[in-house]
Structure 1
Amino acid sequence: MSEVQGTVEFSVELHKFHNVDLFQRGFYQVRVFLKISPRIPHRLIATIPAGTEESSPTSPCIHDNVVFSRVFQILYRNEEIVVNDQMNFRIHLLLDGEKLEEALSEVDFQLKLDLHFTDNEHQLDDIATVPMISSRTLGLHFHPRRGLHHHVPVMFDYFHLSVISVTIHASLVALHQPLLSFARAGKGSWLGKGSGENGNDQVSVSLETLVFGAGYCKPNVTEGSFYVPSENCLQRAYSWHRRLCRLLLAAHRGLRAYFSGLMTEIPELSQVELDDLPIEETLTQLSIELQVRTDEAHSCQLYLRMDWLASQLFS
């Protein structure tokens, strides 16, 4: 099985926090974390926009890929606080190269939101120690072609009755040869006993294996010789290239369709003209360019071979 590195990016924004009926006045904070099943080798990187991460303990920050919102004070019932904290989660996944779309559709993405509270202002100097009082987890139904676009109110439990409005966008942004070393989960990780970040099985996939198939074995070549892959290997490579390009183009079209629909529904937004990218026409063009590059590579190899022979004959 050949494996491909896929990258999905989530953009999350916390809009407004509404105190319905919190029992205690004090300082509150929402912490956000994106969870992925440890059975899928992955790397997660959380970031916040440049300029928002400040030295103040009450400002947005990141600890171990968990995003801490700014700290806000609640004093009254039915009080509404504008949070407007933005964050990005970039996830690199190791996927089955033969079933990319199915593999991406089946990834269990979950967004965890924890509500933390303290009534001691001095405890804010060590923000990581502020205790959690409630938690909610959202299941994110991501599809690689359509992406994901949701705006939802998240209500915490009855004893901490409050709501935070959350906007979530996600899109597939890259498919390519694995460029990172992924740690695979060990046995029992589905029971919570292991982690995709702690496994010891590192994967390294050569470009030839990825393109020509898991059964491909490049023969040894002697000095001055060269190797041209068989027609079956080339046809598999063309098919693999076409599948990846089609899925990326479909993800681009899905994102474009959502953005265009948003501009239509909200005319107050700045109207931006987006270039259409027809999938079939673009695929055909990409396939032609790949074929041309392949032919050029073969011609170059033949030229080098002839040049080597000439050097042997006339040396």
Structure 2
Amino acid sequence: MFETVQEIAVYIHRFHNLDLFQQGWYQIKISMRWEDSEYTSLATPARVVQYEAPDLGGENVYGIWRIDDTDNSFLTQPFRIKYARQDIRLSIMISFTLPLGENEGPSTSAVILKFELMQAPITDTMVELLAYPDAVSVAVHEFRIPPKALLGLHSYCPVHFDAFHSVLVDVSVHISLLKAGSFLKVHSGSYGQDVTGKISDGSHQALGLVAALDIKKITLVKALLAARNTLLEELQKISKGIEHTIDVSDFVSNVDDVSMFDSIVQANLGCC
């Protein structure tokens, strides 16, 4: 069987205050969920990377980012907004993972990516700020990521909240379908198999049943190969954009779609 993981990485480049009505401490809260209620797995923050040194202007930032285990959300470090047209460069990446069930194909449900603007008043001491007791959600912006995009995507997704909270958050979203591992479940005596997992004579009908059960696995392999190809296309676009060649020759030459597909299918069918 396959154990697959959907990974969605959110890059928060910059917070630009166009014309907020109130000064104070602000944060961006990020969470995500499956749109379809049949998918019960929650998106879990997996890793956080500060990919560039933030240019935060000294006293404009306080504290650190944090993960809220109650709702599996991520909050950026608090930053202080003093005036209009103020830039806060955050330069941080948070990666979420959404596990899929064993022996499942690509997701048929969309993902809802939710951004919340959190605000806390300016206080005389910083102790309250560390505990975030008064931070409340004042605006929400959601993206719907369709199932097709979950196979592989890299896109700029600007976040605008509303007329009362006029800000622009520069965000990029990178999506990939990952294979965390694979294994073959063998049931002794099932479908005409012996304890070694080999299919015994006279069990051609059982082989057909097993093959039918592997349709989802085959679909998943095709989706993984499509996601890899999408990633290669994005790397080529980035290479042109930065006018620097990104060498992917080793990766391409060492991966043969046909041989990979055949080997995985044979393994799952119990073939030699």
Q: Which TM-score tier does this pair reach, normalised by the shorter chain?
A: 0.7 to 0.9
- Separation in structure 2 between the aligned mates of residue 36 and residue 57 of structure 1, nearest angstrom: 33
**2:265 is equivalent to residue 294 of structure 1:** no
Distance 1:282 1:95, change over 3 A: closer
- Separation in structure 2 between the aligned mates of residue 25 and residue 236 of structure 1, nearest angstrom: 65
Question: 1:70 aligns to what?
Answer: 77
Question: 1:44 aligns to what?
Answer: 43
Distance 1:235 1:257, change over 3 A: farther
Is 1:7–1:172's contact at 8 Å kept on the other side of the alignment? yes
Question: 1:111 aligns to what?
Answer: 113
Distance 1:60 1:220, change over 3 A: same
Is 1:57–1:126's contact at 8 Å kept on the other side of the alignment? no
1:258: Cα distance to partner? 1.7
2:22 to 16, 21, 24: 24
1:220: Cα distance to partner? 10
Question: 1:271 aligns to what?
Answer: 246
Distance 1:61 1:236, change over 3 A: same
Question: 1:172 aligns to what?
Answer: 177
Listed as ranges, the gaps of 5+ residues in structure 2 are 52-60
1:150: Cα distance to partner? 1.3
- Separation in structure 2 between the aligned mates of residue 292 and residue 39 of structure 1, nearest angstrom: 28
Distance 1:50 1:135, change over 3 A: closer
**Equivalent residue of 2:77, what SS?**
coil
TM-score, normalised via structure 1 length: 0.66
Q: Which moved more, 1:121-130 or 1:151-160?
A: 121-130
1:286: Cα distance to partner? 4.9
- Separation in structure 2 between the aligned mates of residue 245 and residue 146 of structure 1, nearest angstrom: 11
1:254-269 correspondence runs (5 A):
254-268=230-244
Question: 1:155 aligns to what?
Answer: 160
How many corresponding residue pairs? Answer: 248
What letter corresponds to residue 206 of structure 2 in structure 1?
Answer: C
What letter corresponds to residue 294 of structure 1 in structure 2?
Answer: C
- Separation in structure 2 between the aligned mates of residue 157 and residue 292 of structure 1, nearest angstrom: 54
Distance 1:245 1:30, change over 3 A: same
Listed as ranges, the gaps of 5+ residues in structure 1 are 179-205, 210-215, 296-315
TM-score, normalised via structure 2 length: 0.76
Higher strand share goes to which structure? Answer: 2
Answer with 1 or 2: which has the greater Rg.
1
Identity of counterpart residues, as a percentage? 19
Is 1:141–1:148's contact at 8 Å kept on the other side of the alignment? no
1:225: Cα distance to partner? 10
Q: Which moved more, 1:231-240 or 1:129-138?
A: 231-240
Is 2:151–2:224's contact at 8 Å kept on the other side of the alignment? no
